[in-house]
Amino acid sequence: MTALADAAATGIEIIPIEPEQLPAAVEALLRGGGRMQMAYAWYPTPGRIELRYVGSRGQKEDFFMWRCTPHGTEVPSVAPISPLLGWYEREISDLFGITFRGHPEPKRLVLHNGAQPHVPPFDPSYPPDAQLPFEAEASGLPEIEDPDVQLLPFGPVRADVVESVELIFLYVGEHILHLHPQLFFKHRGMEKRFEGRSLAHATLLAERVSGVGSFAHALAFCQAVEQAAGCVVPPRARMLRSLLAELERLYNHLHYLGHLAHTTSLKVGEAEGKLLEERAKQINGKLTGSRFLRGLLVPGGLRRDLDPKPWLSAELERLREEIAVYVTMLENTNSHLDRLITTGILRHEVAFDQGATGPIQRASGFDRDLRRDHPYAAYGELPLVVPVKTAGDAHARAQVRIAEIDASIALIQRVLLLLKEGPVRVACLPPPHAEGLGWAESPRGSLFYAVHFAADGTLSRVKIKSPSFSNWRVFPFTVHDSNMMDYAINEASFGLTVAGCDR
């Protein structure tokens, strides 16, 4: 199939490329101001693996896909050229058995040392109910020769309700030389669970990939299906989708501020932030029946209409006033600011090379936001403020989210003024073998879903690119050469989720 024919079928340009052409193509893309987004693999037919690379040629240029069929089980790595693809290549190696020649980190990522699958887990011949064979093996960490250097494995079970991750510190005194995060203890095989599912079931699955990003995940999934089907969502549904997405951003950012205050020992600030988060969730529940905004989306629109006027505008204004007082107090508390300023600096070039996204990249000087640069739902019809900071430290990351809270409330108020009556759903049934790409700017950053359909209309492959998968890769670069006393603050300033990364 030609690239033009593929574009007509999926709404996105799909370009065939040979494996050996990949390094030169990535280099040319980066020189031209473009950026890679993700890579994944799938089986178009049993026994034939196909690689897909998603990128854009410029900040507001349309996304494209390269379609690559390996000749055997080895292809050249492009991680030395575009480091952000390093984790995607390692994930493909673990789950599909493809070797990436010249990869700078040829180690496992998803499968831990000791996992011994008979065939790669995504191979169609892999027994669906078989447990993964596992034998304990050494961690594979390098030998420590200097007696002053200590090794501290912390986790995967950590205090409080923090998600499971093992943090391996190499340190001298309080000085952290290196951090190695071992993730994927809670890998649930969510992408595999989509296979063979109906659209109704798959939408529910998408909502449960990451609990605090339920709406964003379902939205990106539905938009991928809608692109595959070529259906147009009604204007009222598009407006309501934007409104609900901003409500999700609102409670996430309030929780973030409360948790960040917790790490700086600002107990009143923590309590106030989480109280405001609770009030935002109560607004969600009153409007939709779900504090986490679940059960609303379907491919083609919304399951049911919502009536947000006139009470929602008044409640949001009251909440905005309370948030303004809270934020002013945070920004005038020296003990809080002293712990944030210059902590965990993420340099601009590192943010780009390693694939930082969302508030993390915007705090390091990148003016990027999918809502504006690649509009979806009703964002193309709405005025959007995109806050950007340049310091790249924990305080800058907090400031971006503070500004986004105000921008989200303003955007919701604008939707309420523009919202008109009309249907909220159209039929959406992708044809056999259709595929699509959907995206959303979740509270934590760029979120992509790529979907492929089988001949019977069920899903044959769903790929999820989550923001925390990107930002967990970036995070250690801000920990190296820092100190133990700032670690918890730095991690909190990233707003990471393990569920969103591990999937």
Q: What tens digit of pLDDT does each residue of 395-435 get?
A: 999 999 999 999 999 999 999 999 999 999 999 999 999 99
Look at residue 37 and give its three-state secondary structure.
strand
The radius of gyration of the chain's CA atoms, rounded to the nearest angstrom, is: 22
Which has the closest alpha carbon to 252: 221, 272, 273? 273
pLDDT > 70? residue 8 = no
Q: What are phi and psi of 260, to 5 degrees?
A: -65, -40
Q: At what angle do helices 235-263 and 214-229 cross, to 10 degrees?
A: 150
Half-sphere exposure of 373 (CA within 13 A, CB side): 20
Q: At what angle do helices 394-418 and 235-263 cross, to 10 degrees?
A: 150
Look at residue 170 and give its three-state secondary structure.
strand
Look at residue 425 and give its three-state secondary structure.
strand
Q: Which residues pair with 76 in a beta bridge?
A: 101
Residue 125's pLDDT is 86
pLDDT > 70? residue 6 = no
Q: What are phi and psi of 227, to 5 degrees?
A: -65, -40
Cα gap 155→158, rounded to integer Å: 5
Half-sphere exposure of 479 (CA within 13 A, CB side): 26
Cα gap 262→392, rounded to integer Å: 21
Cα gap 341→397, rounded to integer Å: 10
Fold classified for 190-502: Cytochrome-c3 Hydrogenase; chain B (1.10.645)
Look at residue 262 and give its three-state secondary structure.
helix
DSSP H or E segment with residue 153:
strand 150-154
Cα gap 123→413, rounded to integer Å: 48
Scanning 264-347, the segments in alpha helix (DSSP H) are 267-288, 311-330, 334-340
DSSP H or E segment with residue 30:
helix 22-31
Cα gap 370→35, rounded to integer Å: 13
Instruction: Concatenate the DSSP letters of all residues of 348-395 into one string.
Output: HHHHHHHT--THHHHTTT----HHHHS--TTGGGS-------SS-SHH
Give yes or no for a contact between 236 and 422, defined as CB atoms under 8 angstroms apart: yes
Side chain identity, residue 355? G
Q: Using pLDDT thresholds of 50, 70 and 90, give the confidence band for residue 7.
A: very low
Residue 161's pLDDT is 67
Residue 499's pLDDT is 86
pLDDT digits (tens, 9 = 90+) for 218-230: 999 999 999 999 9
Cα gap 101→78, rounded to integer Å: 9
Average pLDDT over residues 486-490: 94
Which has the closest alpha carbon to 466: 187, 167, 181? 187
Residue 9's pLDDT is 42
pLDDT digits (tens, 9 = 90+) for 138-191: 666 777 888 888 888 887 887 666 788 888 999 999 999 999 998 998 888 899
pLDDT digits (tens, 9 = 90+) for 183-219: 998 888 899 999 988 898 999 999 999 989 999 999 9
Side chain identity, residue 449? Y
Residue 439's pLDDT is 97
Cα gap 410→404, rounded to integer Å: 10
Rounded to a whole number of angstroms, the distance between the first and last alpha carbons of the chain is: 32
Residue 2's pLDDT is 37
CATH code assigned to 3-101: 3.30.460.80
Choice among 77-81, 104-108, 132-136 with the minimum mean pLDDT: 132-136
pLDDT digits (tens, 9 = 90+) for 424-469: 999 999 999 999 999 999 999 999 999 999 999 899 999 999 999 9
Average pLDDT of every residue of the chain = 92
Residue with tokens 């090794």: 151
Q: How far is CA 113 from CA 94, 122, 163, in A?
A: 11, 18, 21
DSSP H or E segment with residue 27:
helix 22-31
443 preceded by a cis bond (ω within 30 of 0): no
Residue 136's pLDDT is 76
Q: Which residues pair with 64 in a beta bridge?
A: 13, 55
Strands (DSSP E) contained in 162-243 are 166-172, 175-182
**Domain extents in the chain:** 3-101, 150-182, 190-502
Cα gap 480→484, rounded to integer Å: 10
Q: Using pLDDT thresholds of 50, 70 and 90, give the confidence band for residue 357.
A: very high
Q: Which residues contact 321 (CB under 8 A, 6 or more apart)?
A: none
